[in-house]
């Protein structure tokens, strides 16, 4: 599913084929935006902001898409056969040398570029964890907002207004790597632990931003992989999608549960991620939560 690394990669590919080129044809899906308004313009910017993708045109319009669970952007050569049915295309941008097609994205809108700053979703985004200047301390402060005190850390890591770019796969992986129970309320987690979660999240996103396949268990991602043998298991992920299989660190069966205001599936190791508040020195305090 698309997370910040996917969008970063998509932006790299689309930037390469679209930037500076004249739009020769464009259309949206049924009831989608009137993309004919950008025909004849040149693409002057392609960028990812968290899980949002923005394509800017030199007539002061910007195409905004959000892929949610099932959307994707494809790049084709002229005449090449599409890998999804044309009826599922929600945005098509043609330049002389390529066709960029967005399939199945629930959010597709053509905006006045100046209005991006007040866009209800974009303007509220937390620091983009993939941005070179990502301010992780600011993200910790946003996590500390009283409105999130009782939110579980697993849910808070998905909250794009706290920090942008993380999705369902990474939030489980990040909590596992940092040995934090994903169901602990944010209020029970010390600042330095929040900071570590974000540092690890950023490291995973950066390491995976150019693909080809998402992994959290590479040696390059830290000391985690060396002793725990994930390479022997051939596993690309520690816990996500591994319910009932042995933890790659301790052998305990990985558990899974659907939770949250917007129900999403979480994976964790009950032994490595004990249900107790995390203190500054990384040890577990005594108040059990589950
Ligand atoms: Zn474990």
What confidence tier does 230 reach under pLDDT thresholds 50, 70, 90?
Answer: very low
Q: How far is the CA of 155 from the centre of ligand 1 (A)?
A: 21
Whole-number Å distance between alpha carbons of 102 and 100 = 7
Catalytic residue among 231, 255, 264, 265: 264
Q: Using one digit for the tens of pLDDT, what is the confidence trace for 105-118?
A: 999 999 999 999 99
pLDDT at 210: 83
Q: Which of 85, 105, 82, 102 is nearest to 26 (CA)?
A: 102
* pLDDT tier at 279, thresholds 50, 70, 90: low
Reported confidence tier of residue 262, pLDDT bands at 50, 70, 90: confident
52-91 confidence digits (pLDDT tens): 999 999 999 999 999 988 899 999 999 999 999 999 999 9
Residues in the chain: 290
pLDDT at position 277, please? 64
Evaluate if residue 177 carries a pLDDT over 90. yes
Alpha-carbon distance of 261 to 211, in angstroms, equals 31
Contacts of 287 (CB under 8 A, 6+ apart): 188, 276, 277
For residue 104, the model assigns a pLDDT of 95
Instruction: Average the pLDDT over each of 117-126, 191-200, 210-219, 265-274 and give the range with the smallest value.
Output: 210-219
Ordered structural domains, the chain, with CATH: 4-118 (3.20.190.10), 136-268 (1.10.8.50)
Taking phi over 0 as left and psi of -120 to 50 as alpha, with beta for the rest, 196 belongs to: alpha
With 0-12 CB in 10 A as exposed, 13-18 as middle and 19+ as buried, what is 182? buried
- Catalytic hit among 9, 33, 51, 278: 51
Q: Taking a C-beta distance cutoff of 8 angstroms, is the pair 186, 156 a contact?
A: yes
- What distance in angstroms lies between residue 211's CA and the mean position of ligand 1's atoms? 27
The whole-angstrom separation of Cα 33 and Cα 265 is: 33
Taking residues 254-269, what's their average pLDDT?
Answer: 91
The answer to whether 148 is a known catalytic residue is no
Phi-psi region of 6 (alpha: psi -120 to 50; beta: other; left: phi over 0): alpha
Identify the bridge partners of residue 258 per DSSP, sorted by sequence position.
265
Instruction: Name the packing angle between helices 191-208 and 4-18 (round to 10°).
Output: 40
Ligand 1 centroid to residue 137 C-alpha, Å: 29
Region 142-149 average pLDDT: 96
The DSSP string of 156-205 is HTT-TTTSBS--HHHHHHHHHHTT--TTSBGGGB-HHHHHHHHHHHHHHH
* Intra-chain end-to-end CA distance of the chain, in Å: 29
What does the pLDDT average to over 193-219? Answer: 88
212 is catalytic: no
What pLDDT score does 283 carry? 54
109 is a catalytic site residue: no
Output the pLDDT for position 193: 96
């Amino acid at each position: 599913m698309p997370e910040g690394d996917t969008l970063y990669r998509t932006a790299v590919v689309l930037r390469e084929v679209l930037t500076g080129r004249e739009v020769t044809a464009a259309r949206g899906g049924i009831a989608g935006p009137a993309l004919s308004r950008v025909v004849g313009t040149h693409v002057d910017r392609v960028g990812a902001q968290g899980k949002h993708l923005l394509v800017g045109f030199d007539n002061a319009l910007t195409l905004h898409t959000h892929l949610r669970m099932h959307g994707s952007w494809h790049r084709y050569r002229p005449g090449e056969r599409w890998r999804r049915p044309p009826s599922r295309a929600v945005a098509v941008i043609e330049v002389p040398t390529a066709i960029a097609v967005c399939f199945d994205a629930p959010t597709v809108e053509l905006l006045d570029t100046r209005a991006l700053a007040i866009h209800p979703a974009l303007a509220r985004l937390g620091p983009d964890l993939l941005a070179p200047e990502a301010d992780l301390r600011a993200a910790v402060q946003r996590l500390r907002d009283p409105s999130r005190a009782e939110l579980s850390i697993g849910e808070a890591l998905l909250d794009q207004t706290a920090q942008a770019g993380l999705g369902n796969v990474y939030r489980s992986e990040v909590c596992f790597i940092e040995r934090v129970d994903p169901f602990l309320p944010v209020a029970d987690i010390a600042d330095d632990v929040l900071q570590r979660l974000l540092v690890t999240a950023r490291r995973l996103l950066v390491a995976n931003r150019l693909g080809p396949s998402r992994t959290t268990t590479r040696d390059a991602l830290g000391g985690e992989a060396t002793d725990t043998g994930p390479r022997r298991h051939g596993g690309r992920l520690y816990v996500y999608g591994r319910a009932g299989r042995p933890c790659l660190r301790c052998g305990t069966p990985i558990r899974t549960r659907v939770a949250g205001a917007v129900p999403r599936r979480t994976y964790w190791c009950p032994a490595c991620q004990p249900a107790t508040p995390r203190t500054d020195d990384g040890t577990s305090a005594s108040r059990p939560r589950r």
